[in-house]
Chains A and B, each alone.
Chain A
Amino acid sequence: MTAIDLGLPGLGGLDGVPTADQPQKAKDYKSDQEVRWCPGCGDYVVLNAVQSFLPTLGLKRENIVFVSGIGCSSRFPYYMNTYGMHSIHGRAPAIATGLAVARPDLSVWVVTGDGDALSIGGNHLIHTLRRNVNLKILLFNNRIYGLTKGQYSPTSEEGKVTKSTPFGSLDHPFNPVSLALGAEATFVGRAVDSDRAGLTSVLRQAAEHRGSALVEIYQNCPIFNDGAFDVLKDADSAARRIINVVDGEPITFGGGELAVVRDGFGLTVAKTADVAPEDVVVHDASDLNLAFALSRLSTQDLQHTVTGVFRNVARTTYDDAARAQVAQAREAKTPDLAKLLHGNDTWTVAG
């Protein structure tokens, strides 16, 4: 087989999407539909953050599309005054792929949950990331099935007692960031729903990234899994647990008291005072091995949770490449339907 270099130039995530003439406000992004999540649901916080963040991109609203699957989070598109499709359980990445391929002038966002993206839609998620389709995937992870009323999910801890697992769940959970990195994702980030600034920062970098951007958002389900992320929200414990990484900066946390250092092929946490300054790992979002090691530092029990952007690298996107092939074919050959239908071997029956 021959590999063909399509010679595509580097593009920004939003290049080709028309910009708005007027400044926008958060309310411009609110639809006329009543928001129907449970009181106290983390989804409200994320919705507000997104509605406040989008105006800063300055895009035409009609060129933004939200595509979702099925689940609580997947009601998201109904509340956005953009174009949107509430599709099928797990299939949003596939549908969004077709849309992104067909339309370079759109900013396409996928809203999904831990069940939607990692269970029924796991295949589409990994292949979308592998292809690097220019989509922004917001994965709301509440570690539970909400819409079906409380069964364990692929991110629930082992032994979780739920309606479907009264004696405890047997499944070992996914680490969504490790999974995405293993699937060749070019951009992987994580944020906690209650951290508006952190979430907005990751969203911005995701929007500006050309290619698939997976953003895992820890999101509280107050009904079926309340308090799952409380240890990350209490100011005291959060400081010792949340490790926010910024490209090019040494990875320290806990008010600078704690630092991330190398440990064999992986990473570990040490007291900053106990290590030489040059031993503190400096984050490099282009280093896949570092990103993966950081993802493994995040444990299911939230002893440590890395947030921020793990990986952010440029790679030709599937949709750009698909359009380039069509464009190159059109340059090389004029479409002539009659010629195509005739082919090379014809014969004529004359009167």
Chain B
Amino acid sequence: MTTDLGNGASAEGVEIRKLDRVVIRFAGDSGDGMQLTGDRFTSEAAAFGNDLATLPNFPAEIRAPQGTLPGVSSFQLHFADYDILTPGDRPDVLVAMNPAALKANIGDLPHGGTLIVNTDEFTKRNLTKVGYDGDPLEDGSLDAYQVHKVAMATLTIGALEHTGLGKKDAERAKNMFALGLLSWMYHRPTEGTERFLREKFARKPEIAEANVLAFRAGWNYGETTESFAVTFEVAPAKLPLGTYRQITGNTALAYGIVAAGQRAELPVVLGTYPITPASDILHELSKHKHFGITTLQAEDEIAGIGAALGASYGGALGVTSTSGPGIALKSETIGLAVMTELPLVIIDVQRGGPSTGLPTKTEQADLLQAMFGRNGESPVPVVAPQSPADCFDAALDAVRIALTYRTPVLLLSDGAIANGSEPWLIPDVDSLPDLRVDFATEPNGPDGAFWPYLRDQETLARAWAVPGTPGLQHRIGGLEKADGTGNISYDPANHDFMVRLRQRKVDGIEVPDVVVDDPSGQARVLVVGWGSSYGPIGAAARRVRKQGMPVAHAHLRHLNPFPKNLGDVLSRYERVIVPEMNLGQLALLLRAKYLVDAISYTKVQGLPFKAEELQDVLTDVIKGVPA
């Protein structure tokens, strides 16, 4: 709930109410520019110094039929004067640009919430299209909300009358009108948006000017009409000291790869194939060739990872990016990387499955695929970021493991993290880990030859000699290797030994202990999560604690191998609950490995958990623990 922090009054007599946090949802047709509108409001909030989290939600179709329910696109933004963990369960303010957007989203708006409607789209035809018998703006069905009816299209066209722009073009700027109005309501800075618009449309100055005018018209509309009696202020958040920027998960992940290449002093080769929701990683990395990054858009998923592995064989940092369906196609090459023990980073931005599933929606159901989705005993380390900004650190860690242990590593992001954004405390470049590798340059075998499968005794990493190194010519491949020499071997005992050795290598990977968040130290219930559920679980835990019930939260960055202290942590609590956006994949692993009677709470609706529902789940579990 939004807390009212007291009132004031502006010079114009409009009341100013101070809030600690607000959730706004912009909803419209997928052609209405809702993602851009939300993105700009986010930038304004970030520039103002709020903490924030966002949740874009859009259809897989690029332009679904106009005005229909499947065509509704929305962007939810949560901003606050304290550190927040989620994009918010329910909006306090819903902006609905058409009847479809209203119908699809009104169910999430709590009674008493603010509803801003673009009345121009509420024609009989549009209402019928989405199944409204009457006009909800007139029939009293919205009486529970504070409704503001604004003829946004008409007002925008009016504001642009003198620009010479056609009606149709002028009307397209109505999303900026909405942004201007909301910016006025929440006292947001406007310079950034005006600058952004002028840059975005630099080649079409008349369009840039139209958007700026529409934006100002929205602002002025709020200020001059009397329909808005109250405006709101959300003060800057007290975050840890430092310099921040706003960042999405896919961008942070791409930056993590760039940084890893720099810290490893290796060229990066991204071999990949476009797939939602991972393509932005390719788009981002393709901009940064001056960091020694080559991006190769291959003919398919298999060729993408093949090229990445070939580059790794040549001594580059090979990376491939995809989503679940792509992982299915890449499995055989991941197996080859396991066998040839070459470093490789495989990014899986998870989406709803199986098969094509829900391309634009989020899910965490690829965990078992990442763990076991290959033929034979084929252990692969698995690393998962927990929030958009955390993708940067997770990417660096994935590269550390890949290079140190000469192994493919699966990096499991998801759609919510990928497209969601939050403020990021920008790290000092010198504080980033040193990832340089030692390539083999001399023969190492007892016979004076080079043995590619002799290992570092501590890490069990094999010697890595790249083509071009004199005297170390050798052959590797997918057939079983003799221990040490790496020659083909069909020897039964050797195969048994090598299968166990590859497993031991991955089991022995150094990962930090999992940290338990239990401020009171009194918790008897532990909630364990991984990946993007960090926000809702953390927010739910805070709410539960506010109710006077202690609860502990442990969030796993490393799914394979698990942190060494995890078994001990699990055994300290009377109940362990594992919420997941799948049917209990982590719970299955925890039960199998630690014999812990973990309770699985699962949901697969393509959307993140709501803090509210997890609060209820945790409360039930805590109350169920005998005193």
B residues 22-53 touching A (CB-CB < 8 Å): 43, 46-47, 49
Q: How far is the CB of B344 from chain A (nearest CB, A)?
A: 10
Q: Is the CB of B333 within 8 A of A98?
A: no
Q: How far is the CB of A227 from chain B (nearest CB, A)?
A: 30
B303 partner, pick from A82, A102, A124, A348, beta carbons under 8 A:
A124
B residues 248-288 touching A (CB-CB < 8 Å): 255, 258-259, 262, 267, 269, 271, 288
The answer to whether the Cβ of B186 comes within 8 Å of any Cβ in the partner chain is: no
Q: Is the CB of A102 within 8 A of B269?
A: yes
Contact with B along A314-351 (1 / 0, CB 8 A): 00000000110110011011110110111101111111
The answer to whether the Cβ of A62 comes within 8 Å of any Cβ in the partner chain is: yes
| Binding stretch for chain A, among B151-159, B173-181, B289-297, B582-590 | B289-297
Q: Is the CB of A345 within 8 A of B246?
A: yes
A101 partner, pick from B259, B294, B303, B471, beta carbons under 8 A:
B294
B residues 187-212 touching A (CB-CB < 8 Å): 192
Please give me the residue from chain B that is nearest to A339 by CB atom: B429
Q: Is the CB of B244 within 8 A of A95?
A: no
| Binding stretch for chain B, among A41-49, A85-93, A281-289 | A85-93
The answer to whether the Cβ of B6 comes within 8 Å of any Cβ in the partner chain is: no
A98 partner, pick from B262, B291, B318, B478, beta carbons under 8 A:
B318
Q: Is the CB of B467 within 8 A of A103?
A: yes
Q: Which B residues lie within 8 Å of A101 (CB)?
A: 269, 294, 296, 307, 310-311
Q: Which A residues lie within 8 Å of B46 (CB)?
A: 345, 347
The answer to whether the Cβ of B494 comes within 8 Å of any Cβ in the partner chain is: no
Q: How far is the CB of B431 from chain A (nearest CB, A)?
A: 11
Q: How far is the CA of A35 from the CA of B332 in the complex (A)?
A: 27
A91 partner, pick from B236, B245, B333, beta carbons under 8 A:
B333
A86 partner, pick from B43, B427, B479, beta carbons under 8 A:
B479
Q: Is the CB of B290 within 8 A of A349?
A: no
Q: Is the CB of B288 within 8 A of A342?
A: no
The answer to whether the Cβ of B488 comes within 8 Å of any Cβ in the partner chain is: yes
Please give me the residue from chain B that is nearest to A330 by CB atom: B290
Q: Is the CB of A326 within 8 A of B310?
A: no
A88 partner, pick from B240, B298, B332, B427, beta carbons under 8 A:
B332
Q: Is the CB of B475 within 8 A of A124?
A: no
Q: How far is the CA of A70 from the CA of B336 in the complex (A)?
A: 12
Q: Is the CB of A124 within 8 A of B313?
A: no
The answer to whether the Cβ of A181 comes within 8 Å of any Cβ in the partner chain is: no
How many interface residues does chain B have, given as a range? 35 or more
Please give me the residue from chain A that is nearest to B485 by CB atom: A32
The answer to whether the Cβ of A196 comes within 8 Å of any Cβ in the partner chain is: no
The answer to whether the Cβ of B376 comes within 8 Å of any Cβ in the partner chain is: no
Please give me the residue from chain B that is nearest to A31 by CB atom: B475
The answer to whether the Cβ of B299 comes within 8 Å of any Cβ in the partner chain is: yes
Q: Is the CB of A95 within 8 A of B309?
A: yes
Q: How far is the CA of A171 from the CA of B601 in the complex (A)?
A: 52
Q: Which B residues lie within 8 Å of A201 (CB)?
A: none
Q: Which A residues lie within 8 Å of B293 (CB)?
A: 326
Contact with A along B470-490 (1 / 0, CB 8 A): 111111111100000001100
Number of inter-chain CB pairs below 8 Å: 208
The answer to whether the Cβ of A94 comes within 8 Å of any Cβ in the partner chain is: yes
Also in contact, A97 and B307, with CB within 8 A (given A82-B473, A333-B290): yes
Q: How far is the CB of A136 from chain B (nearest CB, A)?
A: 15
Q: Is the CB of A88 within 8 A of B478?
A: yes
Please give me the residue from chain B that is nearest to A106 by CB atom: B467
Q: Which B residues lie within 8 Å of A77 (CB)?
A: 475, 477
The answer to whether the Cβ of B316 comes within 8 Å of any Cβ in the partner chain is: yes
B306 partner, pick from A91, A342, A345, A346, beta carbons under 8 A:
A91
The answer to whether the Cβ of B242 comes within 8 Å of any Cβ in the partner chain is: yes
The answer to whether the Cβ of A154 comes within 8 Å of any Cβ in the partner chain is: no
A residues 87-119 touching B (CB-CB < 8 Å): 87-88, 91, 93-103, 105-106
Q: How far is the CB of B374 from chain A (nearest CB, A)?
A: 12
The answer to whether the Cβ of B315 comes within 8 Å of any Cβ in the partner chain is: yes
The answer to whether the Cβ of B567 comes within 8 Å of any Cβ in the partner chain is: no
The answer to whether the Cβ of A148 comes within 8 Å of any Cβ in the partner chain is: no
Q: How far is the CB of A321 from chain B (nearest CB, A)?
A: 11
How many interface residues does chain A have, given as a range? 35 or more
Q: Is the CB of B336 within 8 A of A88?
A: yes
A94 partner, pick from B239, B258, B303, B476, beta carbons under 8 A:
B303
The answer to whether the Cβ of B469 comes within 8 Å of any Cβ in the partner chain is: yes
The answer to whether the Cβ of B624 comes within 8 Å of any Cβ in the partner chain is: no
Q: How far is the CB of A341 from chain B (nearest CB, A)?
A: 5
Q: Is the CB of A95 within 8 A of B310?
A: yes
Q: How far is the CB of A1 from chain B (nearest CB, A)?
A: 14
Q: How far is the CA of A100 from the CA of B476 in the complex (A)?
A: 17
Q: Is the CB of A341 within 8 A of B427?
A: yes
Q: Is the CB of A325 within 8 A of B477?
A: no
Q: How far is the CB of B194 from chain A (nearest CB, A)?
A: 14
Q: Is the CB of B475 within 8 A of A337?
A: no
Q: How far is the CB of B124 from chain A (nearest CB, A)?
A: 42
Please give me the residue from chain A that is nearest to B425 by CB atom: A349
Q: How far is the CB of A120 from chain B (nearest CB, A)?
A: 10
The answer to whether the Cβ of A238 comes within 8 Å of any Cβ in the partner chain is: no
Q: How far is the CA of A96 from the CA of B262 in the complex (A)?
A: 24
Q: Is the CB of A326 within 8 A of B468?
A: no
The answer to whether the Cβ of B314 comes within 8 Å of any Cβ in the partner chain is: yes
A residues 26-68 touching B (CB-CB < 8 Å): 31, 33, 60-63, 65, 67-68
Also in contact, A345 and B192, with CB within 8 A (given A86-B476, A102-B267): yes
The answer to whether the Cβ of B10 comes within 8 Å of any Cβ in the partner chain is: no
Q: How far is the CA of A247 from the CA of B478 in the complex (A)?
A: 41
Q: Which B residues lie within 8 Å of A81 (CB)?
A: 473
Q: How far is the CA of A121 from the CA of B302 in the complex (A)?
A: 10
A78 partner, pick from B262, B300, B427, B488, beta carbons under 8 A:
B488
The answer to whether the Cβ of B141 comes within 8 Å of any Cβ in the partner chain is: no
Also in contact, A325 and B289, with CB within 8 A (given A98-B311, A101-B269, A346-B245): yes
Q: Which A residues lie within 8 Å of B336 (CB)?
A: 87-88
The answer to whether the Cβ of B308 comes within 8 Å of any Cβ in the partner chain is: yes
Q: How far is the CA of A84 from the CA of B310 in the complex (A)?
A: 11
Q: Is the CB of B239 within 8 A of A334?
A: no
Q: Is the CB of A124 within 8 A of B478?
A: no
Most buried by B among A61, A322, A335: A335
Q: Is the CB of B467 within 8 A of A63?
A: yes
The answer to whether the Cβ of B356 comes within 8 Å of any Cβ in the partner chain is: no
Also in contact, A98 and B473, with CB within 8 A (given A33-B487, A106-B314, A106-B467): no
Also in contact, A98 and B292, with CB within 8 A (given A88-B336, A105-B468, A341-B427): no
Q: How far is the CB of B395 from chain A (nearest CB, A)?
A: 13
Q: How far is the CA of A102 from the CA of B46 in the complex (A)?
A: 39
Q: Which B residues lie within 8 Å of A164 (CB)?
A: none
The answer to whether the Cβ of B340 comes within 8 Å of any Cβ in the partner chain is: yes
Q: How far is the CB of B422 from chain A (nearest CB, A)?
A: 13
Q: Which B residues lie within 8 Å of A325 (CB)?
A: 289, 294
Known: A87-B306, A98-B296, A326-B290. 10 other contacts (CB 8 A): A62-B468, A62-B472, A87-B336, A88-B336, A100-B310, A102-B269, A103-B468, A326-B294, A332-B290, A338-B428
| 7 CB < 8 A contacts A-B | A77-B477, A84-B475, A94-B271, A335-B291, A341-B427, A348-B243, A350-B241
Closest 4 CB pairs of A and B: A86-B477, A98-B310, A94-B306, A98-B307
Interface residues of B (CB under 8 A from A): 43, 46-47, 49, 192, 236, 238-246, 255, 258-259, 262, 267, 269, 271, 288-294, 296, 298-300, 302-304, 306-316, 318, 332-333, 336, 340, 426-429, 467-479, 487-488
Interface residues of A (CB under 8 A from B): 31, 33, 60-63, 65, 67-68, 70, 77-78, 80-88, 91, 93-103, 105-106, 123-124, 127, 322-323, 325-326, 329-330, 332-335, 337-338, 340-343, 345-351
